[in-house]
Amino acid sequence: MPRVADNRQHDADRASDTERLRALEDRLARARGEPRTAAPEGDKYRQANQAWRMVIELVAGLGIGFGIGFGLDHLFGTSPILLVVFILLGFVAGVKTMLRTAAEMAGPADGTPGSPARNRPDDPAGNKPDDPARNRPDHPAGTKGTQRGD
């Protein structure tokens, strides 16, 4: 029976720690002037889902490349030449898809809903030019570099 008592004490300590941590987070948020918002329940595993999505995109590209290369090698009687070529093409396609997904997950760069983080039509590099007034030597911020942020 002492084991049951130990488990109850452990559960009580854990609940107490959780409450203390939540109170500390609330105090920190108030000190920073930020509103305290709880994470929505649907966001609980969002990052893990995004990571798996990217892994699946890469593996799918490799698998499709393997399938096409293997089929064409079998059809034309070539050895592993087309298999290797299409596996490499599948890898490139998978990486390209992963990068597009990562840009999509990063969110909009200019604050407009639905715009990708990079490759906007008005700026292919995704750079935002600095305020030209800030690049003047007499501005309080001084010279900040080139407009591209270099």
Supply angle C-alpha 142, 125, 147, rounded to 5: 15
86 burial class (0-12, 13-18, 19+ CB within 10 angstroms)?
Answer: buried
CB 26, CB 36: distance < 8 Å: yes
Q: Which amino acid is at 34?
A: E
- At residue 141, the pLDDT reads 54
> Does residue 84 have a pLDDT over 70?
yes
Supply angle C-alpha 116, 45, 18, rounded to 5: 125
- Residue 1 in 3-state DSSP? coil
- At residue 127, the pLDDT reads 52
How far apart are alpha carbons 135 and 19 in whole angstroms?
49
Higher pLDDT: 13 or 62? It is 62
Alpha helices for 77-129 (secondary structure H): 81-106
- At residue 2, the pLDDT reads 55
| Residue appearing with tokens 């070529």 | 85
- At residue 118, the pLDDT reads 47
Predicted structure pTM score: 0.47
- At residue 39, the pLDDT reads 56
| Residue appearing with tokens 């997950």 | 105
Q: What is the mean pLDDT of residues 25-47?
A: 76
Average pLDDT across the chain, whole number: 76
Backbone angles phi, psi at 114, to 5 degrees: 85, -5
Residue 117: pLDDT band with limits 50, 70, 90 = very low
- At residue 26, the pLDDT reads 87
